[in-house]
């Protein structure tokens, strides 16, 4: 049985389209993962900046427990007034250890902790 040249050409064309489709799917997957990694990295950077800011405030007040126990932020890291409107939250857990005030600062995205920091301030 003889195979025509047009049948071979169509078979080659189908193989090329299949290879192109698989390559496009792999590239799309890589770009989606890179975007997600970039978002997570940006969130971690902002979490570190906000936690350090809270830690500096805690140290500047000498470990004053009058600070709020929670701070809430939206997707763009702008302060919001309620947990219901927030995408991120910072929870402060102050305690006393002798003449030092200690505060555990935990940054959450939803229910997942993305950064934690412990800060100590000597009493004034």
- pLDDT-derived band at 81 (thresholds 50, 70, 90) equals confident
Measured CA to CA in angstroms, residue 41 lies from 23, 24, 47, 88 at distances of 27, 26, 10, 14
Which pLDDT score, from 0 to 100, does residue 1 have?
65
What is the 8-class DSSP label of residue 83? Answer: G
Give the pLDDT confidence of 24-77 residue by residue, as tens digits. 999 999 999 999 999 999 999 999 999 999 899 888 887 765 567 889 999 999
Mean of the per-residue pLDDT values of the chain: 89
Cα 107 to chain center, whole Å? 10
Structure tokens given for 74: 């939206």
The CA-to-CA distance between both ends of the chain, in Å, stands at 97
Structure tokens given for 46: 């902002």
The whole-number average pLDDT for the span 88-98 is 88
């Amino acid at each position: 049985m003889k195979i025509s040249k047009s049948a071979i050409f169509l078979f080659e064309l189908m193989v090329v389209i299949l290879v192109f489709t698989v390559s496009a799917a792999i590239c799309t997957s890589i770009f989606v993962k890179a975007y997600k990694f970039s978002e997570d990295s940006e969130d971690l950077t902002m979490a570190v900046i906000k936690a350090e800011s809270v830690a500096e405030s805690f140290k500047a007040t000498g470990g004053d427990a009058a600070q709020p126990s929670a701070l809430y932020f939206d997707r763009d890291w702008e302060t919001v007034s309620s947990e219901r409107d927030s995408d991120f939250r910072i929870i402060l857990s102050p305690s006393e250890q002798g003449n030092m005030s200690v505060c555990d600062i935990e940054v959450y995205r939803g229910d997942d902790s993305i950064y934690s920091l412990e800060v100590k301030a000597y009493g004034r």
